[in-house]
Copies of this chain bind each other. A is one copy, B any other.
Amino acid sequence: MRYGEYVEKCRKVADVQNAMAVLQWDQEVNMPPKGAEVRSNQLATLSVIAHEWSTDPAYGALLQELNEDDSLSWEQKRNVQESLRDYKRRLSYDKHFVEQLSRTVSRAFNAWQQARKKNDFNVFAPALTEIVALKRIEAGLVGYEQHPYNALMDEYEPGATVRMVDRLFSGVKGSLSTLLEKVRNLPRPVNVFAGKQFAKQAQWDLCIGFLKQMGYDFDAGRQDYAPHPFCINFSSGDVRVTTRANESDVFDMLSSSIHEGGHALYEQGLLPENYGLPAGYAISLGVHESQSRLWENNVGRSEAFWKANFEKLKQAFPEQCAGLTARDAFVANNLVQPSLIRVQADELTYHFHIMIRYELEKALITGDLQVKDLKEAWNASYKKYLDIEVPDDNRGVLQDIHWAHGSIGYFATYSLGSFYAAQYYRQAEKDIPGLAGLIEQGDFLPLKQWLNEKLHRYGRLYGAEEICTRITGEGLNYDHFHRYLEDKLSRVYIG
């Protein structure tokens, strides 16, 4: 049967892509330095195979045929539709464009590294100008309605539009600004963990315990050290996380472990029988991020979490925690402080970092902003929204790797993740009786199972907005995030 042939092809492409993922994981976690050069050739060879197979005209014809086959079940049809969508997107890039982008990205990445060394945006600007020009061409190749930036976001967040994201960020500009203002005027609680040292191994053991508590399956994964925390999967039976140690901040590894663990629960929750099919992949970066942030923030920074787990922290670090309480850990995890670096930002100011990037990217793509004026625009935005001066380019416009990688249209997915997380968590509280009480008792499994049942198992059978509406009764709504944060901060900042 032709559908079986399609499944077979999808799985073979997935095999090659997952083999690449193993090589990439190994590269980050284990590879000795002299292995690097050949490794990148090996990855390139596999990448060409996966690309050729997934753009093969015979595969395209098969998809077209199946797309008109009325004998398919609903789920089969959905798989075919999504595969056809991917196929068309891939075909829209002509070979010349792909080569040009790839060359430019290599050059841009080098230029960015050089620029970082010299702390000088001007070193990166010419390459970024080329990237932006190519991204504008890409928007045209892919095609879009209403706004060229939609074509770029669509790669990371299918279905997301400027109209939708603008609406979300109007909440950030409006009510979140007001909340920030309010918090800044309240007395700042003290972080009583600051300035202490926390041995790496004890942190690691705690993190393993928290991952188990979340329901992360160590028979289908593992945690390792790597320079940057990430989650990667080779099948739903092999989903790995990495973390890093910071002995002067006990919450650093912990929040990164829980964050990556949240990503991992999504991948472990995909159904093995859907391996290689759209139903076997996560919906989008935003929805993926919703899972990591739900666990990191809504769970891991909650009062209930620390009521459940403060004793463990105290057992691991008795001296450092002497005289402290669960509330101290809760407070230390939720202090708001405008700062320069996105990846170190708190839950509130984080979204200004994102919104600034989103606005700047949109303006670059429409042509309303030129790369030569980007640094100035960046610094002005940080002054306007966070009231801070950017002292140099490394702590400003050069801080993220995304543009150097040619990724434009990506940043908004981080905020979408937080917003979806709040909305899903709100719904979980409604659906799971006494959720906060369960969390307080350290029983996280009902939440994990709820996510498995409601979201994870479907993979891409539903789109992001579609499944959000199925689960919560409405599309993504910023208000849930705002209410969640306002409520939490009112308990942190007792003014």
Residue of B37, B44, B237 near A38 (CB, 8 A) is: B237
Residue A284 lies at the interface, judged by CB distance under 8 Å to chain B? no
Within 8 Å of chain B (Cβ to Cβ): is A155? no
CA distance A235 to B38 in the complex (A): 7
Query: Contact mask A1-29 → B, CB, 8 Å, 1/0?
Result: 00000000001100110111011011000
Interface presence of A409 (CB below 8 A): no
A23 → B minimal CB distance (Å)? 5
Tell me the number of copies of this protein: 2
Q: Say whether A38 contacts B222, CB under 8 Å.
A: no
Check: A317 CB closer than 8 A to any chain B CB: no
Q: Are B35 and A237 in contact (CB under 8 A)?
A: yes
* Bound complex: CA A42 to CA B22 (Å): 11
Task: Classify the interface of chain A: helix, strand, loop or mixed.
Answer: helix
* B-contacting residues, A347-400, CB 8 Å: none
A237 contacts B34, CB within 8 Å? Answer: yes
A22 — which chain B residues lie within 8 A by C-beta? Answer: 22-23, 26, 42
Collect the chain B residues with CB atoms within 8 Å of residue A217's CB. Answer: 34
Query: How does the 8 Å CB contact mask read for A37-52 relative to B, with 1 for contact and 0 for none?
Result: 1110110111001000
Complex contacts, A16 vs chain B, CB 8 Å: 42, 45-46, 49
Asked if A15 and B34 sit within 8 Å, CB to CB, the answer is no
CB-defined contacts of A25 to chain B, threshold 8 Å? 26
Residues on the B chain within 8 Å of A19, using CB: 19-20, 23, 42, 45-46
What is the distance, in angstroms, from A33's C-beta to the closest C-beta of chain B? Answer: 5
Inter-chain CA distance A380–B451, complex, in Å, is 64
**Provided the pairs A11-B41, A26-B26, A45-B12 are in contact, do residues A238 and B35 lie with their beta carbons within 8 angstroms?**
yes
**CB of A484 closer than 8 Å to a CB of B:** no
A261 to chain B minimum Cβ distance, whole angstroms, is 14
A295 at the interface (CB under 8 A from B): no
Q: What's the minimum C-beta distance from A208 to chain B, rounded to whole angstroms?
A: 14
A220 within 8 A of B: yes
A225 to B39 CA separation, bound complex (whole angstroms): 23
Given contacts A22-B26, A46-B15, A235 and B39 within 8 Å (CB-CB): yes
Docked CA distance A42–B11 (Å): 9
When chains A and B are docked, how far (Å) is the Cα of A221 from the Cα of B23?
15
Q: Is the Cβ of A15 less than 8 Å from the Cβ of B41?
A: yes
Give the distance in Å from the alpha carbon of A52 to the alpha carbon of B11 in the complex. 18
Cβ–Cβ < 8 Å partners of A45 in chain B: 12, 15-16, 19
> A238 contacts which chain B residues (CB < 8 A)?
31-32, 34-35, 38-39
Question: Is A234 an interface residue, CB under 8 A from the partner?
Answer: yes
Query: Does chain B have a CB within 8 A of A275?
Result: yes
Chain A 186-220 near chain B by CB (<8 Å), digits 1 or 0: 00000000000000000000000000000001111
Determine the chain B residues whose CB is within 8 A of the CB of A110 once the complex forms. Answer: none
Interface: A30 (CB within 8 A):
yes
Q: Write the nearest CB–CB distance from A443 to chain B, whole angstroms.
A: 24
User: In the complex, A42→B17 CA distance in Å?
Assistant: 9
Residues in chain B near residue A11, CB distance under 8 A = 41
A residues near B, CB below 8 A?
11-12, 15-16, 18-20, 22-23, 25-26, 30-39, 41-42, 44-46, 49, 217-222, 234-235, 237-238, 272, 275
> What are 10 sample pairs from A and B whose C-beta atoms fall under 8 A apart?
A16-B45, A18-B42, A22-B26, A25-B26, A34-B219, A34-B237, A35-B235, A38-B234, A38-B238, A39-B235
